[in-house]
Chain A
Amino acid sequence: MAPRRRKSKAATTEISALDSYLLMLILLRLPVKLLHRLKCVSKRWNILITSAFPPQRLGTNSGFLGFDHRGGFGGYFPRSHDQLLLPPRSASLEHAVRFQDPDFPKRLTSLRPTTRPLVPMPEDPHGTNSNFIALEFDPTMSLRYKIIRSLHTCCNPSERVVASTQVQQQLVRMPFLELEIFSSETQKWVRKNVLHGPHGTCLPGHVLLLNGSMYKLVHPNYVVGFAFDDDDRRRNLVPLDVNKQTSVSVLPVDDNFSGTGCLSTWGGWLHYTSCDGVLVKIWRVSDFGNSAWEVIHVNSMAIMRGIVCRDITRTVIGGDVVFSLAGYSPDFKLLFLDKEGRVMGYDYPTRTMHKLSNLMPWTREHKGYKLQPFWPSLFNPRKIPEALAYTPYVIY
């Protein structure tokens, strides 16, 4: 009897009969863009895709092309390749490795995360000696990538640490920042002059693209954004109009802001990391125009020096506050306190997602830990719902 029943069932075997493991095997090999599209197929597909690639992660799918300070090509690094391009086909990472070949930089090639083929870039009109800065884009926001490079000589980041003031003085004299922007749409390099701030520091990594807008650190107390493309203007991320060369958004920061670190982006957030990795600041770029921002002080992170990028984002999912953590070190725990400073519990940073409901209970045996404030203040408390008023602490 059993085989007969099997047969009639098997006769209608279709993709929906595959168990989730098999379906995941297939989905993991598909490009990210297609996966987004396939969410519409059915509820099961939607659940599978969103569970494997949670929206927080998908949102951070901004890959970037890295160039080191000597103009060497670092390759394409997907921001969260561990999530998006799981081991079977981490094609982008392979390419990144291949590009580190010393013979490679003669001709640049970029990898497009949406379609995966490698697109050769045009010949470099300035030889191999020009200073590339960054390529950064989020394929969820725009299909087109842009590469910008500075036509000025940039200084070596290692010198910068030693003689940062000297370097700044040297760079102050530059009234304009000369950039060339390569758009994947037009396939051409376009020269742009961008107004510097009053105390301009133009260092590699200081200019970056996020969702089609360009951000540049121009003053220890300001972050200025630029937008330079009509296509991106519809995304409402236009802190500054390059043609008018006026600053729109100015973010005041406190005294600890050294002005010699680098800006980076992560999932719609703009980060500032000081050169020694001691201080991290995070701006929420979607609120950029409203001058709302969040700042994270990590003043006492000396122990964790070397781990430059650490960031916590939090979202509310179903009434739960979910903290996600990136660039964490294995030797600390996240401790959550409520508004009055009472310990709510702790969680291990080995998990990237922290739900308040899943926290470990806090007991006496933990009292030996030294508490370090990790997220002491939010600048606009009125905007933050009650559920968000927990403060994560780091324990060493």
Chain B
Amino acid sequence: MKRREFLKKAAIGVAGITLPLAALEIVNPRKMFAGKDDGAKVRWVFLVDTYKCVGCGLCVKACKNENEIPYDANVTRTWVERYVFTKDGKFHADTPKGARDGFITSKIDLGQGKYEDIKSEDIQKAFFVPKLCNQCENPPCVQVCPVGATYQTPDGVVLVDRSWCIGCGYCIMGCPYGVRFFHPKYHTAEKCNFCYHRITKGLKTACVQACPFGARQIGNMKDPKDPVTKIIMTERVGILKEEYGTKPQVFYIGLDREVK
């Protein structure tokens, strides 16, 4: 063996030994293909009764305060939409500031400072629909995250790891329900997490607690005695954008075809 050749081989050998085997483990195939653990005792679900909602927006106010979402920034984890159907067959929808201050006028907010007044005698039907994260069983926002910063907890809530999020915005684009946004302060993806800090302590979410009319309820789908579970199992409830296959876990009473 020549000296040059010996040095070369020695260098390769040393490099090979230095590289620990563990560094090569990017994924563990066994874990990777592990199925979902069905032994979970908790699966958080939400129930919205649109008949009861009056559009006061106290839920939005409470949510922003509880979850430290800058109050005057035009972003919110939950919001309330207004739908007004007129007798000429048209429908109008708005959610000024996410209904943070409720709906205090019959004028529909068209955006850019324009409003459309609708006379009460022209209205055929009108109602309010609270929206929030659907905590999907198949969350597309989690699938598209390239760094594992957003994930589904064992009890079904989708969380965002602020220290790991790189702010690429794929999840914001991926969510069919438009519930995600950038947090104005942390510049990371932000979304409703069913007030995870509250529900895991046995409290109701801030919006559920703030709602004076019982339009919002949270429950555990794995508990057959839970009143919310009972309603979902025995009454007629709808979900949003079923055709996307995301299996949303926010159920609605009194959904209309124009609500998406």
A binds B: no
Identify the B interface with A (CB < 8 A). none
Identify the A interface with B (CB < 8 A). none
